[in-house]
Each structure stands twice: as structure tokens, then as C-alpha cells.
């Protein structure tokens, strides 16, 4: 590592020595003015490439090399030492300012970075340092006009910096940091074409044109289109190389006594050449940076779009942008597939709406219209019908945004294929219904004994009444009025038995659930009637407390009966070991606030089992020896599917209270009652 650094320091010293010799060689034939002063640009570039902690070593090596060169050229040692100090400070200040103000001078240069570079390294440092440098020259007797010296020094450092520093930095970057990309044949041919044209025009303008009064200054403009070509097509690297070529051609021609820069005094000629280089290089460098910045932005945008497309594809989603003013849609490739749109075909609202299932079109159109009106978001699920007839579900989220440039609102959105979720949901509903049905049948099974007993009563009464009627008819003078009354009793008992059987059949049959307006009080009455024989058999009192004029709820009546029956049977179970006379279950209904109806079942048992109250609703939680622990879980899922809640608590005064709440339907009291049990 140390050896490598030592080698680099040595190489820097050699470069500084060599470029000093070049600077001295690049003088007009009739003057001592150096047109181009590369050592300064070389040292600044080196300092920008190496770590700041090594700056002292590189600076020392450079000025030592320069001092050796000056001594070989017989400069007065004091003057030479003074110059070394001046050069070192100048390069260090320029490098430090660039490092401080530009985040990464080697990588992606922005327009702001290049403006800072021009202001600091091309204008401020060279011309500020020139005050000191000019004084130095005059003081040691090497010049007579302070301002001429100031101007010469400032411009020569400015020109060298703008032409050489970017070229050196880019060259080093491509050589040491980033492997140079192999150009395509087309690009290589284009680069060679620019270089050859530049060389040819440079020879014509700077070497073949005679100097003096016959010179044609307008010829100076001829390289400009080529320089613009280099900047636009090859960026900063292109313009740096082109400027380097032009600079050396201009200096070479001028030094040989040719070209448009030789018709005035040597100092003025030098100034004209330097101004030409400075004024051409600076704006073209800025142009190249802008072009590169735009290219980078486009590339970043393309990457982001690809990434977005990839993300959307893996989420099976479409990402789209809809310009409302032109009805132009941009949609990801995968998105086109989701809507069965041709890969390159123009997309507009009508084309997309055509794919939306006819039943879902109004809802989608309304959601979008609301979003545009409120400049807000929308979320909707709808079906898409593909030309082959396949139907798929999409979940769309959109947002209406207005751009700052006043070009009108735009809608952005993501539409995800949720067919799999929809199918799973439908399957889950079917499963829940199956489970609920099984649980209902099990519930009825538990009640078989009491239901049989309940049926037995009317059947026995009917048999007894029929026997009595036969006896009456066997008399000599049958009392027909009596027989009539007996037959009426038989008919009533028959209806009672049929009612019980219908109730059992309703609960046991597996009909598709349907939502109708239900009067919960009717449900309470039916369930209490069904559970009554069971309660009676257990010596339990079963009472109701129904609030009148309750609003209807939109529900499946059989499922509501199932839930309530489950709660009542659980309440009766809970009071198994209750002393006779204390066994009481109350079923109550009431309004719960303005928008809900509540039905509760309260018992006088031991209360909820220890632990969190929510446990009783967990699947397979049971404290009963023969319990399955599914009843309350199913009851809760039924109530939640009706947008309601089912909960439990320990009641004041002992026992448990279970209640469910359902949203009240907007219309008044229930016009439809549950099927009779
Ligand atoms: P299972 O009746 O098969 O046990 P459930 O889901 O209907 O299943 O009830 C789960 C558990 O909740 C019961 O085992 C019981 O511990 C408790 N539980 C239900 N109702 C009551 C109640 N009224 N009083 C006390 N505990 C109850």
C-alpha cells in the first residue's frame, strides 16, 4: 500500500515536470506568454483523485519537480520558491473547494455541480490567485504591467482548468474506477467520424489559413457544429476530448505562425486564442452535462418503470395512468393482458369499459366520477369479462391527481386480479353454511327427547279425543255438537304437531341462506316455543322481555333462530346443577342506540368459565364432557356475516349474559316474520 502510494506520488511528480516542459513549449513564436498551463490542471485533477490525507505528499512532490525544472532553466531560486508556494496554494484551494461543494466530481455530474465547478475552479480561483501571481511577477521584475500579468495568469489557468480537468478526471475514472464499456460499432464509427472531421477542420482553420491581415476570423466558427455534435452525442467525455483536440490544434497552428490568432500584438493574440477556447469550452461543457443528466434521468425513469411493471406483474396487477383531458391511457404490459387488450393497441376509456362486466359498469363509472369530483381516492371491486367469456375479479384502487403545470387532472391506479381470493371467499362461505347446517342438526339432535315429548302430547291428545268421539258416535243418540267440538280439538292438536314438525324441518333442511326483513321478536317467540319443552324437562323457567316496535333487521331468519337457540340451550346447560326454583333463563330484545337491535340471553348459572371471556367463542373450546365447542364459534361467524356482533359477559347478580346486535334496517318495523317453528 505504502509502496503503491510512493509510486503514485513519484508518477505525479513526473507528470508535473513533463507538463511544465509542455507549458513552456506552448508559447507564441514572438512572446514568452504561455498559452496553456497544464501543470495546474494536472495537480488539481490528481488532488481530486487521491485521498485528502495524501494531498501534502502530492503537492510537495509536484512543486519539487517544478523547482527542479526551474533550476535547470536557471530561474532565480527565490523567485522559483515563491512560485512553488503560489502554485501549491492555488491548486490546493481549487481542489478543496471542488471537494467541498461537489458531492462526487467523478460520477454523475449535475448542472448545479458544473456551474459550481465553472464558478469556483474556472473563474474564482484562477482570477483571485492571479492578483497574487501578478504581484509576484512584477516584484521579481519579470513583467511591467500588473493588469496584463493578472489577465494572462487568470485566463491561462482558467482555460487549462476548463479544458483539462474534466478530461483528466473522466479519463482516470474510466481507466481506474469503471471498466470502459466496449462501444458498439456504430458508435465507434460515429466517434471516429467526429474526430476525423474535427482534425480536418482544425488543420484547415488553424494550420492552413495564412496569418496576418489576410486571416479569415469567421472561420473560427466552423468547428462549433462539430463540438456541439460531440457534446450532444458523447456527453462530457466527448466534449472534453474534442476541446483537447481543438486546443492543441489551435496552439500548434498558432505556434507555427499560422491561423487567425496572429494579426495583433503577441499578448492580444494570446488573449484572443485563450478567450476562444474558454468561451467555447465552458458553455459546451454545461450543455454536455445537461444532456448527460437528461440521459441519466431517462434511464432512471426507464428502470423505475421496468421495476414497477415487474412488481405489478408479480402481484398480478395492472398499473395505469389516465390523462383525463386527452383520454390517453398508459398501462403496463401485464395490465393489458388483465384486460385482454392487444399489446400495442391504443387504450381509452371506452375500450376498457367494454371489458368490464355489464352489471358492474355503473358502479365502476360512479366510483371514478366521485373520485374525479372530489379529487380523491376510490376503491372498487368489479368483474372483467374476457372475449373468450372467462370472468375474472379485479380490485382497483385509484387516485385523482392534478399536476402542477395546469394540464388538468390525471387518474392513477392499480387494478389487481383477485379472482383467487374471491373464489376462496365463496368457498369459505359455502363451508361456513355447511358447518352451520351441521351444527343446527346437532342442536336438534340434542333436543330430540324433549321434542319427541312435545310431539307426544298432541298425538296422545288426538288419540284420546278420537276414541272419545268414537264413543260419542256409538251412542243411540250421538251428541253431534260434542263430536264437533272433539274434532275441532283434534284439528288444533294436529296443527300444533304439524307446527313442531315444520319447525324441525326448517331447522334441519339445508336451504340456501336468504336475506329478508326479519322481526327479531318473532324469532324470539319461535325459539322460545321450540326450546320450551327442553326447559320444562329441566325444570327451568324460560321468560321473554320484548321491546315493542323494534325496527326490522336484514337477515336469514333460520340462521338467526339457530344462533338464538344455541344461546338458550347453552344457558339451560349452564344451569344443570342449579337448585330447583332458581333455574331461570330470560330472553330479551331491545333497541341498542339508534341503529341496532339487541337480543340477549341471560341465565342464573355459574357464569363464564375462568379466563378471557372471548375464549368461549374459540373453535373447539368446551367445558362440557360431551361438548364440541363449535356452537358459539359458528354463532359468531353467522352474526358477523350479518354485519353484527356477538359477545358475552358475567351478569350482575350472577350468571352469564350473551347478546348479539344487528344493524337495524332503515325501513320501519319488520313486515316479514320468520318461518314458524
Ligand atoms: P359446546 O356447547 O359444545 O361446549 P359452545 O361453543 O356452544 O360449545 O360453548 C363453548 C363453551 O362456552 C361451553 O363449553 C361453556 O364452557 C361456555 N358457555 C357457553 N354458554 C355458557 C353460559 N351460558 N354460561 C357459562 N358458560 C357458557
| pLDDT on residue 677 | 44
Look at ligand 1, atom 7, and give the residue with the nearest C-alpha: 631
Confidence of residue 478 (pLDDT cuts 50, 70, 90): confident
Distance between Cα 566 and ligand 1 center (Å): 9
Distance between Cα 452 and ligand 1 center (Å): 25
Tell me, using a 6 A CB cutoff, whether residue 105 lines ligand 1: no
Reported as a single tens digit per residue, the pLDDT across 343-352 is: 888 888 888 8
Tell me, using a 6 A CB cutoff, whether residue 621 lines ligand 1: yes
Confidence of residue 178 (pLDDT cuts 50, 70, 90): low
Distance between Cα 574 and ligand 1 center (Å): 8
Q: Cα torsion at 236, 240, 246, 250 (round to 10°)?
A: 130
Tell me, using a 6 A CB cutoff, whether residue 417 lines ligand 1: no
Reported as a single tens digit per residue, the pLDDT across 296-311 is: 899 999 999 889 889 9
Name the least confident of 214-223, 315-324, 337-346, 588-597. 214-223
Tell me, using a 6 A CB cutoff, whether residue 575 lines ligand 1: no
Tell me, using a 6 A CB cutoff, whether residue 623 lines ligand 1: yes
Percent of the chain whose pLDDT exceeds 90: 39
The answer, yes or no, to whether residue 144 has pLDDT greater than 70, is yes
Name the least confident of 165-169, 212-216, 521-525. 212-216
**Taking residues 319-327, what's their average pLDDT?**
89
| pLDDT on residue 197 | 93
Nearest to 642 by CA among 619, 626, 665, 672: 665
| pLDDT on residue 673 | 46
| pLDDT on residue 137 | 85
Tell me, using a 6 A CB cutoff, whether residue 637 lines ligand 1: no
- Angle in degrees, CA 53, 54, 59, rounded to 5: 125
Helix axis angle, 520-537 to 448-474, nearest 10°: 80
| pLDDT on residue 524 | 94
Reported as a single tens digit per residue, the pLDDT across 596-617 is: 999 999 999 999 999 888 899 9
The answer, yes or no, to whether residue 188 has pLDDT greater than 80, is yes
The answer, yes or no, to whether residue 674 has pLDDT greater than 70, is no
Calculate the alpha carbon distances from 607 to 512, 578, 617 in Å: 35, 12, 15
Tell me, using a 6 A CB cutoff, whether residue 629 lines ligand 1: yes
pTM of the model: 0.58
Those residues whose C-beta lies under 8 Å from the C-beta of residue 638, and which sit 6 or more positions away, are 432, 436, 559, 560, 562, 563
The answer, yes or no, to whether residue 672 has pLDDT greater than 70, is no
The answer, yes or no, to whether residue 277 has pLDDT greater than 60, is yes
Reported as a single tens digit per residue, the pLDDT across 408-439 is: 789 999 999 999 999 998 888 788 778 778 87
The answer, yes or no, to whether residue 243 has pLDDT greater than 50, is yes
| pLDDT on residue 55 | 94
The per-residue pLDDT of the chain, averaged, comes to 86
Name the least confident of 7-11, 217-221, 517-521, 538-542. 217-221
Reported as a single tens digit per residue, the pLDDT across 71-97 is: 998 889 998 999 999 999 999 999 999
The answer, yes or no, to whether residue 668 has pLDDT greater than 50, is no
The answer, yes or no, to whether residue 212 has pLDDT greater than 70, is no
| pLDDT on residue 177 | 67
| pLDDT on residue 16 | 93
Confidence of residue 28 (pLDDT cuts 50, 70, 90): low
How far apart are the C-alpha atoms of 305 and 319, rounded to whole Å? 10
Confidence of residue 383 (pLDDT cuts 50, 70, 90): very high
Beta-strand relationship, 377-385 and 551-555: unpaired
| pLDDT on residue 129 | 92
Name the least confident of 24-38, 100-114, 187-201, 536-550. 24-38
Reported as a single tens digit per residue, the pLDDT across 443-477 is: 777 777 667 767 877 888 899 889 988 988 888 88
Distance between Cα 567 and ligand 1 center (Å): 9
User: Are the CB atoms for 591 and 550 separated by under 8 Å?
Assistant: yes
Confidence of residue 649 (pLDDT cuts 50, 70, 90): very high
How far apart are the C-alpha atoms of 216 and 202, rounded to whole Å? 14
Helix (H, G, I), strand (E, B) or coil at 656: strand
Distance between Cα 576 and ligand 1 center (Å): 13
Other beta carbons within 10 angstroms of residue 137's beta carbon come to 23
How far apart are the C-alpha atoms of 256 and 203, rounded to whole Å? 12
Percent of the chain whose pLDDT exceeds 70: 93
How far apart are the C-alpha atoms of 243 and 161, rounded to whole Å? 12
Helix (H, G, I), strand (E, B) or coil at 330: strand
Amino acid at each position: 500500500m505504502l509502496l503503491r502510494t510512493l509510486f503514485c506520488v513519484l508518477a505525479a511528480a513526473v507528470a508535473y515536470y513533463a507538463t511544465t516542459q509542455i507549458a513552456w513549449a506552448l508559447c507564441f513564436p514572438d512572446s514568452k506568454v504561455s498559452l496553456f498551463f497544464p501543470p495546474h490542471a494536472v495537480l488539481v485533477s490528481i488532488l481530486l483523485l487521491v485521498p485528502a490525507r495524501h494531498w501534502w505528499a502530492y503537492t510537495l512532490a509536484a512543486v519539487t519537480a517544478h523547482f527542479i525544472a526551474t533550476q535547470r532553466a536557471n530561474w532565480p531560486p527565490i523567485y522559483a520558491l515563491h512560485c512553488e508556494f503560489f502554485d501549491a496554494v492555488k491548486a490546493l484551494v481549487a481542489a478543496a473547494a471542488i471537494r467541498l461543494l461537489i458531492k462526487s466530481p467523478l460520477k454523475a455530474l449535475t448542472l448545479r455541480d458544473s456551474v459550481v465547478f465553472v464558478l469556483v475552479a474556472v473563474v474564482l480561483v484562477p482570477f483571485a490567485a492571479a492578483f497574487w501571481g501578478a504581484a509576484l511577477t512584477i516584484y521579481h521584475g519579470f513583467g511591467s504591467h500588473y493588469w496584463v500579468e493578472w489577465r494572462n495568469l487568470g485566463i491561462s489557468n482558467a482555460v487549462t482548468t476548463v479544458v483539462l480537468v474534466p478530461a483528466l478526471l473522466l479519463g482516470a475514472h474510466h481507466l481506474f474506477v469503471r471498466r470502459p464499456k466496449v462501444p458498439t460499432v456504430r458508435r465507434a464509427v460515429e466517434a471516429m467520424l467526429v474526430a476525423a472531421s474535427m482534425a480536418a477542420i482544425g488543420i484547415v482553420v488553424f494550420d492552413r489559413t495564412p496569418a496576418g491581415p489576410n486571416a479569415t476570423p469567421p472561420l473560427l466558427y466552423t468547428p462549433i457544429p462539430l463540438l456541439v455534435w460531440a457534446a450532444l452525442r458523447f456527453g462530457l467525455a466527448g466534449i472534453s476530448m474534442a476541446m483537447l483536440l481543438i486546443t492543441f490544434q489551435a496552439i500548434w497552428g498558432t505556434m507555427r505562425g499560422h491561423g487567425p490568432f496572429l494579426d495583433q500584438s503577441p499578448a492580444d493574440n494570446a488573449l484572443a486564442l485563450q478567450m476562444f477556447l474558454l468561451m467555447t469550452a465552458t458553455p459546451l461543457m454545461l450543455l454536455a452535462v445537461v444532456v448527460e443528466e437528461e440521459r441519466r434521468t431517462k434511464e432512471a425513469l426507464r428502470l423505475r418503470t421496468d421495476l414497477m411493471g415487474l412488481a405489478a406483474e408479480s402481484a398480478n396487477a395492472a398499473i395505469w395512468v389516465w390523462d383525463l383531458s386527452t383520454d390517453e391511457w398508459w398501462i403496463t404490459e401485464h395490465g393489458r393482458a388483465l384486460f385482454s387488450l392487444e399489446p400495442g393497441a391504443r387504450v381509452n376509456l371506452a375500450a376498457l369499459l367494454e371489458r368490464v362486466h355489464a352489471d358492474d359498469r355503473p358502479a365502476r363509472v360512479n366510483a371514478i366520477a366521485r373520485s374525479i369530483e372530489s379529487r380523491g381516492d376510490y376503491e372498487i371491486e368489479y368483474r372483467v369479462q374476457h372475449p373468450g367469456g372467462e370472468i375474472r375479479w379485479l380490485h382497483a384502487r385509484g387516485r385523482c391527481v392534478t399536476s402542477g403545470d395546469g394540464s388538468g387532472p390525471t387518474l392513477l391506479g392499480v387494478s389487481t386480479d383477485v379472482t383467487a381470493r374471491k373464489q376462496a371467499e365463496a368457498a369459505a362461505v359455502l363451508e361456513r353454511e355447511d358447518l352451520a347446517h351441521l351444527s343446527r342438526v346437532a342442536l336438534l339432535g340434542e333436543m330430540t327427547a324433549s321434542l319427541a315429548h312435545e310431539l307426544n302430547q298432541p298425538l296422545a291428545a288426538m288419540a284420546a279425543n278420537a276414541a272419545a268421539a268414537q264413543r260419542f258416535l256409538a251412542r243411540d243418540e250421538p251428541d253431534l255438537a260434542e263430536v264437533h267440538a272433539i274434532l275441532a280439538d283434534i284439528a288444533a292438536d294436529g296443527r300444533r304437531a304439524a307446527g313442531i314438525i315444520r319447525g324441525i324441518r326448517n331447522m334441519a333442511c339445508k336451504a340456501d341462506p336468504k336475506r329478508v326483513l326479519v322481526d327479531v321478536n318473532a324469532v324470539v317467540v319461535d325459539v322460545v316455543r321450540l326450546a320450551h319443552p327442553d326447559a320444562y324437562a329441566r325444570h327451568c323457567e324460560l321468560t321473554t322481555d320484548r321491546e315493542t316496535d323494534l325496527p326490522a333487521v336484514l337477515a336469514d331468519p333460520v340462521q338467526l333462530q339457530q344462533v338464538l337457540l344455541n344461546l338458550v340451550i347453552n344457558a339451560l346447560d349452564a344451569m344443570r346443577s342449579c337448585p330447583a326454583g332458581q333455574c331461570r333463563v330470560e330472553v330479551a330484545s331491545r333497541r341498542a342506540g339508534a341503529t341496532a337491535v339487541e337480543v340477549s340471553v341471560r341465565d342464573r348459572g355459574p357464569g363464564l368459565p375462568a379466563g378471557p371471556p372471548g375464549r368461549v367463542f374459540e373453535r373447539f373450546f368446551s367445558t362440557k364432557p360431551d361438548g364440541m365447542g363449535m356452537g358459539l364459534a359458528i354463532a359468531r361467524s353467522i352474526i358477523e356475516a350479518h354485519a353484527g356482533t356477538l359477545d358475552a359477559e358475567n351478569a350482575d347478580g350472577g350468571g352469564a349474559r350473551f347478546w348479539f346486535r344487528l344493524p337495524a334496517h332503515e325501513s320501519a318495523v319488520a313486515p316479514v316474520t320468520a318461518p314458524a317453528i
